A = this chain, B = another copy of it.
């Protein structure tokens, strides 16, 4: 079936553990900050409760990845620092114009990047890779974000068009972050050959996520 893409074998992509963990840890800190902002600006207490639990999960992932860096004998702050400027800009650009765009921005970017880093972790040394995947695969914000967004769109169908556009607009920046993760840890020529199918998978995940909200990806 020539139109079907071969399943990507992520084990052929071999990330350098230290920068990989540093970037993954810093990204979780950014998700925590975005979710904490969503908690602070939530319109109701039930929303605060669900989102604060999700913020707690992002925070656990951040601290667990930092602990893996310490286990490798490196200082996490030194490793994370180079990723801070681009990731900070990415978070600010994903924050959107209101609470709903903030939520969808987190849903789209965290959905793509958690899955991506978890699959990239298949290329880490086997014990480390298994621990990192367990950290990243913990059920986090997706359910509460999907439920909040579905309720909001149900209550105000006019939101759907605006959010569909907004969700689509976050894909490009997210792919740049994903691409930078390969640059940080691999020879560029090697990464270049294998990288396109990876991004095709990422976009397919994104489309499924938007479909679940009834939004055109």
A residues near B, CB below 8 A? 29, 32-33, 36-37, 39-40, 44-46, 48-49, 52-53, 55-56, 59-60, 62-63, 66, 76-77, 80-81, 84
Contacts and interface: CB of A to CB of B under 8 A. Distances in A.
Contact of A37 (B40, B46, B62): B40
A77 B49 CA distance: 9
A56 B60 contact: yes
B29 A48 contact: yes
B52 A32 contact: yes
Given A36-B55, A45-B76, A45-B77, 11 more contacts: A29-B39, A32-B39, A36-B36, A36-B39, A36-B40, A44-B77, A45-B80, A45-B84, A52-B62, A53-B63, A59-B59
A55 B53 CA distance: 12
Given A32-B39, A36-B40, A39-B32, A55 B45 contact: no
Nearest to A45: B77
15 contacts: A32-B36, A32-B39, A33-B36, A33-B39, A36-B36, A36-B55, A45-B77, A45-B81, A45-B84, A49-B63, A49-B77, A52-B63, A56-B59, A56-B60, A59-B59
A59 B49 contact: no
Contacts of A60: 56
Contact of A40 (B33, B49, B63): B33
Contact of A56 (B37, B46, B63): B63
Nearest to A59: B56
